[in-house]
Amino acid sequence: MFCFQCEQTANEKGCTQIGVCGKTPEVAALQDLLIYLLKRLSQVATQARKQNILDENIDTFTCKALFSTLTNVNFDPDRFILLIDKTVQYRDILQKKVENVGGKLEDENSLDFVLKNTLSDLVAQARLVGVKSDQKLNPDINSLRQLLTYGVKGVAAYTDHAYILGQKDPKIFAFIHEALAATLDNSLSADDLVGLVLKCGEINLRAMELLDAANTGTYGHPVPTKVPLGEKKGKAILVSGHDLKDLELILKQSEGKGIYVYTHGEMLPAHGYPELKKYSHFYGHYGTAWQNQQKEFKDFPGAILMTTNCIQRPLKNYKGNIFTTGLVGWPNVTHIADKDFSTVINKALEMPGFAEDKEGKNVMVGFARNTILGVADKVVEAVKSKNLRQILLVGGCDGAKPGRNYFTELVEKAPVDTIILTLACGKFRFFDKDLGKLGGIPRLMDVGQCNDAYSAIKVAVALADLFSVSLNDLPLSIVCSWYEQKAVAILLTLLHLGIKNIRLGPSLPAFITPNILDVLVKNFNIMPITTAEKDLKAILE
């Protein structure tokens, strides 16, 4: 196998024996094959659009299939085989539709790949189309193709989240197919691919806008909310991942059954949504970021539901209590496809639950764009009066590799005349710290999930308007921790917006070659993080 799509990849070069995430060589191969076939499907879909042939089922399937290949989503080989078969079926269906209207594929090779039948044959076939299958390909071209592919994976994830809540835009589906097909087009130059990479950032901004509209339109705009980190005596269900719809369904189906519902990981910001807050048994938050679930889940005395990416290999001491839904999968873990969570609820009722109330810290959530912009005048006045020197946006995906304590130190050492905005699971390095207030404004404000990056962007744009300056002239510094492909898509959006001087860490992507990195540095001054002290000094100067 060879996989280097995430930040924790082995030796910062690539996983070749087994994925650091727990992905087996077989699953890695099936993911490679699925991605290749989705690219072939996209060639046909792109040509079909030119003939005004549209199929929303194929569009949404493409997003879900891509989402399945994100880091820490699906580890079940059987489900990948089903996705591979369905991809080929959709390719053939579209091809017939194109032929029926007299159309012709521009790349006849898109149909020359005949799928094998057995798992071993599929794995062998996948080795012909993986990341390093073409040894003659220019490394910089391959780097840009991978960057585009991983960015599109992030776009697909946000698009799928939005679609679940009824928001869609045909131009996003069209770009996903266009971009995937482009990664097989040998006529495209490095400049062509750079253009598509930046367009990917533009399209991702639209996808995040739709997701924001989906979440706020369904559950209301988040409001500042105190969330207990303690325990409530009684039966318990823990919901992890990102999917607010799944959380709502659990709350509805478990209402009145004597069960308290807790969030884990990226579900923490859900406590700020008015339409979810109204459930009296929606209690608090348990645990921290995704990479700690093996040591945290073993002590949870209830049922656990994983709704989207971020699952780790379940340990024996809680494997019988954990369930998956949506696109998440692990071999021999009960998967709930129909959204009837009675199995989860019954498991929670069987288990002991928490024996007594246990007080803990409280953390604040709900500082999305409406809340922050509600005090924008105070922020502007604090800057003009020199009481507020700098706003630090410290966010992104957390991970298990060493070096991430940097983000804790950065926040702890930030002087009292700074404000920290944070989002995504990177905040769990410092989310429970009391940094006090500055002019009545909390110095630490949780904007939300990685899915809520649109809120942070809207805040930055609004502040730039209020100050009558460009985004790059704001007293705002962005320090990003990245882990997987949603973070790649967000980074491309920031680049599309022309934002410079982003600090990125804890290590740079292994799929970026020195030449491509040089382009990003020259055009956007992307910087690897160094130490908290050095970076803070540079930021504040």
Q: Residue 212 in contact with residue 164, Cβ under 8 Å?
A: no
* Whether residue 428 is found in the same domain as residue 536: yes
Q: Answer yes or no: are the C-beta atoms of 41 and 65 closer than 8 Å.
A: no
Pairing of strands 437-438, 441-442: antiparallel
* Separation between Cα atoms, residue 345 and residue 351, nearest integer Å: 10
For residue 417, with 0-12 CB atoms within 10 Å meaning exposed, 13-18 middle and 19 or more buried, which class applies? middle
Q: What's the rounded Cα separation, in Å, for the pair 322 and 314?
A: 8
83: domain range?
Answer: 10-218
Domain closes at, from 159, 184, 218:
218
Q: Over 90: is that where the pLDDT of 400 sits? A: no
Residue with tokens 């926040």: 411
At 401, is the secondary structure helix, strand, or coil? Answer: coil
Q: Is 360 within a domain?
A: no
Classify residue 519: in a domain, yes or no: yes
Going by pLDDT thresholds of 50, 70 and 90, the confidence category of residue 107 is low
Does residue 315 form part of some domain?
A: yes
Q: How confident is the model at residue 113 (pLDDT cuts 50, 70, 90)?
A: confident
Domain membership of residue 361 (yes or no) is no
The predicted structure's pLDDT at residue 110: 55
Asked whether residue 341 falls in the same domain as residue 376, the answer is no
User: In this predicted structure, what is the pLDDT of residue 109?
Assistant: 61
Using the 3D structure, point to which of 350, 384, 401 is the last residue of a domain.
350
Residue 195 sits in the same domain as residue 233: no
Digit-coded pLDDT (tens) for 360-380: 999 999 999 999 999 999 999
Token match 């988040």: residue? 222
Scan for tokens 């130490």, then name that residue.
531
Query: How far apart are alpha carbons 212 and 208 in whole angstroms?
Result: 6
Rounded to a whole number, what is the distance in angstroms from the first to the last CA of the chain? 46
- 380 and 406 inside one domain: yes
- Only one residue has tokens 């922050």, namely 372
pLDDT at 317 over 60: yes
Any bridge partners for residue 444, and if so which?
A: 420
Residues 331 and 469 occupy one common structural domain: no
Residue 356 lies in a domain: no
Beta strands 437-438 and 362-365 are unpaired
Residue 34 CA to residue 82 CA, distance in Å, equals 10
Per-residue pLDDT reduced to its tens digit, 10-25:
999 999 999 999 999 9
Q: Same domain for 165 and 252?
A: no
pLDDT recorded at residue 211? 98
Are the beta carbons of 110 and 40 closer than 8 angstroms? Answer: yes
Residues 190 and 322 in one domain: no
**Is 408 inside a domain boundary?**
yes
Please give the DSSP secondary-structure letter assigned to residue 16. S
- The string of DSSP codes covering 297-361 is HTT--SEEEE-SS---PPPHHHHTTEEEETT-B-TTS-EE-S--THHHHHHHHHS--BSS-B---
Query: Closest Cα to residue 46, out of 114, 104, 85, 131?
Result: 104
Whether 192 and 245 share a structural domain = no
**CATH of residue 273:** 3.40.50.2030
Burial of residue 64 (number of CB atoms within 10 Å: 0-12, 13-18, 19+): middle
Say how far apart CA 146 and CA 140 lie, in whole Å: 10
- Assess if residue 362 is contained within a domain: no
Percent of the chain past pLDDT 70, that is, above it, reads: 99
Q: Which of 197, 169, 160, 207 is nearest to 65 (CA)?
A: 160
Q: What's the number of domains the chain is made of?
A: 3
C-beta separation of 367 from 249 below 8 A: no
Query: Cα(417)–Cα(421) distance, rounded to whole angstroms?
Result: 14
193 with 240, same domain: the answer is no
Last residue within a domain, chosen from 198, 218, 238: 218
Assess whether 68 and 205 both reside in one domain.
yes
* pLDDT tens-place string over residues 155-190: 999 999 999 999 999 999 999 999 999 999 999 999
Are residues 188 and 253 located together in one domain of the fold?
no
110 plus 257 within the same structural domain: no
Is residue 83 domain-resident? yes
